[in-house]
Amino acid sequence: MALVTFKVTLTGGTDSIIGAASSANGVQMTDKGIRQIILSNPAGNGATQYGTAPGGTFTTSPATIADGGTATIGPFHNSAPTRLKEWFLKGTNTKVVQVTVITH
């Protein structure tokens, strides 16, 4: 289990969390099983959407993090039911979301 923090700079499109995690904490990240994800959306970002999105297309209505809000996903127990590569963010171009991940 590891605690990893990194930032995702949004593009205005659908942005993969794993793509932004490639050099989290100065260490090369690979796809990991997730115990918990915490998404922090700083004030001034506007609302940001998050969810699972195979192929970069949200398959269900994504959830929303309010401007200045935080979303906690998990904790998941036993074997990891979800992985980094399955999670995506969507928000205003150039805005930054802080991501904290606890891996299995």
**Which residues are CB-contacts of 94 (< 8 A; sequence separation ≥ 6)?**
9, 10
What is the reported pTM?
0.84
Among residues 68, 5, 67, the alpha carbon closest in space to that of 36 is found at 5
Please compute the mean of the pLDDT values over residues 76-98 and round it to a whole number: 84
Can you give the residue ranges of every domain in the chain?
A: 3-103
User: Looking at domain 3-103, does it have CATH number 1.10.390?
Assistant: no
Residue type, 77: H
- Count of Cβ atoms closer than 10 Å to residue 1 Cβ: 8
pLDDT tens, residue by residue, 15-66: 888 776 655 666 656 677 888 999 999 999 999 999 886 555 565 667 899 9
Residue 17 in contact with residue 53, Cβ under 8 Å?
A: no
